[in-house]
Amino acid sequence: MADHVQVSTATETREQAVELARSAVAGRLAAGAQIIGPVISAFWHEGEFGTGEEWQLLLKTRKDRYTELERHLLAHHPWENPELVAVPIVAGADAYLRWVDAVVGTHASQ
């Protein structure tokens, strides 16, 4: 079973994505984050079809830290019901994954 996950979410602005990334990484809930954007999304929201520009945020963490990271992102996200998903990292460079482990560890965030 994969010990690491990549977590994704999106925000309306670059600044919102940067702040979520900064706070999650500073709190050692994620080892690192990348912000991609702007991207165009197509979606259903409140019964209406729409498209919009968003900023995608990708965060790397350990699977056992996901719950804390999710709680943090939901508490600080500007949207009421944001996309928030995690996918397993099934393979990766050993040195990189050891770095993720060292950064986020298995301890409670500081």
Confidence band (pLDDT; 50, 70, 90) for 83? very high
* pLDDT given at position 91: 94
Strand 32-45 and strand 4-11: the pairing is unpaired
Can you give the C-alpha Rg of the chain in angstroms? 14
Decide: residue 62, CB within 10 A, 0-12 exposed, 13-18 middle, 19+ buried. buried
Shortest CA distance to 4 belongs to which of 110, 76, 109, 106?
Answer: 106
* pLDDT given at position 1: 46
Asked if pLDDT for residue 78 goes beyond 60, the answer is yes
Average pLDDT, stretch 32-41? 97
Confidence band (pLDDT; 50, 70, 90) for 45? confident
pTM assigned to the model: 0.90
* pLDDT given at position 106: 62
Shortest CA distance to 56 belongs to which of 30, 88, 33, 25?
Answer: 33
Region of 26 (left: φ > 0; alpha: ψ -120 to 50; beta: rest) is alpha
Confidence band (pLDDT; 50, 70, 90) for 2? confident
